[in-house]
Amino acid sequence: MNYAAFWEYFNGFAAPLLQHRAGSFRMAFEHLEKLGRPACIVETGCVRNQGTFTGEGQSTVLFDKFSECVPGTIVHSVDISPESTSMCKSIVSSRIQVHTSDSVTFLRHQCAGLIKPYAHIDLLYLDSFDVDVEKPHDSAMHHMKELLAVAPLVNANTFMLVDDSPTSATFYIDAGQLKLVSPQRIGGKGKYIATYMEDIGAKPIYQGYQAAWMGM
């Protein structure tokens, strides 16, 4: 396992391009490194364009590089769009298993058999349904359905990362200082997941443009 080679790639090339996603992806890969073994990664929504690190994150490309440096790592990526999965297959290696399917159906009915011998997912990345941050309901509901569908395959050590889930709050400026008048809330794709996780007592371990949880 060559974690040093991965971090050289991530810190030297990917992180500057990832910008607002760099910190959360770094935390996710630090989690995988701490496992000290090959990992099981499942993502919904595959890479759709080449080189769009800042705009889209290039998650599948990052997972491909990690699997190269940590042999034995398995990565399953699912997307409903044949155009997207075709594009993804053209820019990642055969280490990435790319599936064309509805993500909820895939997670509920196919994923368990495909991740064997793993019983649980080490990194779950949810990014399958484009979001309108002003009207996030459809996307947020879809991602909540994904979590429900995959629930048997996650545990307290699963790192769940949700893209496009910016934290927001109402504030005012007093004498040049920002003062909050409402709690900080996760929105976007993670809006309903955040409410559910709060209800079960699992606080986010990362809030920014992306949101992350453990302890499910």
Cis peptide before 152 (omega within 30 of 0): no
Question: Two tokens at 200?
Answer: 């079960």
Residue 190 sits at φ, ψ, to 5 deg, of: -95, 10
- Residues in the chain with pLDDT values less than 50: none
pTM over 0.95: no
Question: What's domain 3-213's superfamily in CATH?
Answer: Vaccinia Virus protein VP39 (3.40.50.150)
d(CA 155, CA 36): 18
Which pLDDT tens digit goes with each residue over 132-150? 888 989 999 999 999 999 9
Q: What single letter denotes the amino acid at residue 35?
A: L
Residue ranges of alpha helices (H) inside the chain are 3-9, 15-18, 22-35, 53-56, 59-69, 82-91, 103-109, 111-114, 137-150, 191-199
What residue ranges do the domains of the chain occupy?
3-213
Q: Residue 56: what pLDDT?
A: 79
pLDDT of amino acid 165: 94
pLDDT tens sequence across 81-125? 999 999 999 999 999 999 999 999 999 999 999 999 999 999 999
